[in-house]
Amino acid sequence: MKKLIFQIALTLTCLHTFSQIKHGQRDEQGRHIIPRGFVVNTNDGGGEVFFNSDDYARMVRMGANTQVIRLELGKLSNFPGGKLEPNYLKKLDTLVDLGKQSGMKTVFKMTVYGVEKFVWEEFWLNKKGEYNTYIDAWKIIWERYANDSFVFGYDVVNEPRKLTMDISYNDLTNKYLIPLYSEIIDESQKINPNKKVLLQSIFMNKGEGIDNNQYAEITSPVNRKNIIFAPHIYQNKIDFIKPVMDRFDKESEMLNAPILIGEWGFPTFASTDTLISGKLGQLEYRELYIKTAEVFDRMGVGSIKAWFLGNRTMQNFMPGGPSTWSIFSDSTDAGTVERKYITDVIARPFPQTIAGDIQFFLFNHATRTLDINIITDNSKGASTIFIGANRHYPDGFSILIDDTIVMYNDPIKKVRLETYKAPINFNSSDFIWDESTQKLTILKWPQDNKAANIKIVPGLRNF
């Protein structure tokens, strides 16, 4: 019996390890990173959007280590109504630099906005060389940022559509989408061989989703290196969150590409800001977002939330009335008034960068406990854990490592981390709490090449 229990435990551990290693990314130093952040728009329905360093500081204090900048095809290409705008490129440079100064990596995502019209049915048939025109727009970006290590990758086709084409989603994917991806990747890697290319699936027509999931399944491999599967999930039915993510997991395995959720979070209706409970009330949204976040974290996937914007405009295409993906409720472009019923879930604690391998992590919203299992590797450098104490631990927090180390932060004292319990050779100066970024930096793990369990818990534990 003991042998059976040990085998089961070992199997569960291996499952955790496989999932986390499969979906985690690696930085230049080989550290295990979990990308998390926001979609950054260059415009919205109210016109151009501008950001400054204060906005990026707020992103960082919400746990962002990655931004996804939405590109406008009309400002980069020769599609009808479009042209290359040099000032737009300067604006992109500014956003990349703001991210860089804040320690954030950048992903660019191409949208088809800004052209006179973009007809997907004509695009797929490529009778006028649309693929080359599209790739030429990307080449401007690839060449501009080829040597910028803070530009992480490119989400090359955003929410591709079928619309009126008389073809199945599977045939559209295999006959058109995958060959297009192959061509784009090959051209990108001539210029950017080490950049990541992010791939999405076909966005299905309204009413044709499966399990309330609007994205068609990819069933054939792309057979390219340095790719990431970047599905979107805008699920509003809790029971479907895990089945949809399990399907994405299966696609990821077939593609041999880790998952980074490119966009997530069911849009907020105008009425939600004033409705606490009931259908589409704030409590329902919080529960939905918590469940989604827990599934993400258990799988070890990174995730990008749409949008880091204020509420200047709303969409009006859903039965519930006007809605938005903006995480702020005020009517300015950057926004400052948080929709805290979703932002506190978005800005949950997590391991951002780990020198070693993340085996498992999960933030329990009920107990406010972050649980992390890792295998340490000090040769990779320093590690960072986003804690978000300003919103999750206003009463202070404690750091527990295995059964041997207890450190704590007392917000009243406003001093460096204090040590309550540690081995005689423990160096407390290796653990640095940064109030401005809400991050814990670990310069060196107490034990190298060892399994370690780290817990972040509320309050000054056991004192």
SS (H, E, C) 264-314: ECCCEEHHHHCCCCCCCCHHHHHHHHHHHHHHHHHHCCEEEECCCCCCCCC
56-112 pLDDT, tens digit each: 999 999 999 999 999 999 999 999 999 999 999 999 999 999 999 999 999 999 999
Task: Give the pLDDT of residue 7.
Answer: 39
- Containing 141, the helix (H) or strand (E) segment is helix 130-144
Mean pLDDT, the chain, whole residue set: 93
Task: Give the pLDDT of residue 9.
Answer: 42
The pLDDT confidence band at residue 124, using thresholds 50, 70 and 90, is very high
Instruction: Provide CB contacts within 8 A for 5, sequence distance 6+.
Output: none
C-alpha torsion 323→325→327→329, nearest 10: -30
Contact 60, 51 (CB under 8 A): no
- Residues facing 36 on adjacent strands: 303
Cα–Cα distance for residue pair 261/59, rounded to 1 Å: 18
Edge-first strand order for the sheet with 196-199 is: 227-229, 196-199, 151-155, 105-111, 66-72, 36-40, 302-305, 260-264, 232-233
The pLDDT confidence band at residue 210, using thresholds 50, 70 and 90, is confident
Instruction: Provide CB contacts within 8 A for 119, sequence distance 6+.
Output: none
Tokens of 313: 């405009």
Cα–Cα distance for residue pair 414/236, rounded to 1 Å: 41
Q: Could you give the angle at which helices 238-255 and 282-299 cross, rounded to 10 degrees?
A: 30
Nearest CA to 109 out of 160, 149, 59 is that of 160
**Residues above pLDDT 90, as percent of the chain:** 85
β-pair type (36-40, 302-305): parallel
Nearest CA to 354 out of 27, 37, 44, 120 is that of 27
The pLDDT confidence band at residue 23, using thresholds 50, 70 and 90, is confident
Task: Give the pLDDT of residue 201.
Answer: 97
Contact 422, 371 (CB under 8 A): no
Q: Is the pLDDT of residue 11 over 90?
A: no
The pLDDT confidence band at residue 19, using thresholds 50, 70 and 90, is low
Q: Is the pLDDT of residue 462 over 60?
A: no
Nearest CA to 375 out of 453, 431, 455, 297 is that of 453
The pLDDT confidence band at residue 313, using thresholds 50, 70 and 90, is confident
Contact 162, 144 (CB under 8 A): no
The residue to which tokens 């929709």 are assigned: 339
Q: What end-to-end distance do the CA atoms of the chain give, in Å?
A: 39
325-350 pLDDT, tens digit each: 999 999 988 899 999 999 999 999 99
Q: Is the pLDDT of residue 153 over 90?
A: yes
Mean pLDDT of 387-391: 97
SS3 state at 54: helix
Cα–Cα distance for residue pair 72/68, rounded to 1 Å: 13
Cα–Cα distance for residue pair 153/68, rounded to 1 Å: 9
CB atoms near residue 81 (< 10 Å): 13
Domains parsed from the chain with CATH numbers: 34-347 (3.20.20.80), 356-458 (2.60.40)
Contact 374, 366 (CB under 8 A): no
Mean pLDDT of 165-192: 97
Q: Is the pLDDT of residue 6 over 60?
A: no
SS3 state at 398: strand
Tokens of 376: 């340490």
**C-alpha distances in Å from residue 419, one per residue of 27, 86, 400, 424, 439:** 31, 54, 10, 12, 18
253 phi-psi bin (left φ>0, alpha ψ -120 to 50, beta other):
alpha
Nearest CA to 232 out of 205, 196, 266, 269 is that of 266
Q: Which DSSP state fits 175?
A: I
- Containing 262, the helix (H) or strand (E) segment is strand 260-264
347-383 pLDDT, tens digit each: 999 999 999 999 999 999 999 999 999 999 999 999 9
Taken in order 411, 415, 416, 422, the sign of the CA dihedral is negative
412-428 pLDDT, tens digit each: 988 889 999 999 999 99
Largest CA distance in the chain: 73
Contact 131, 92 (CB under 8 A): no
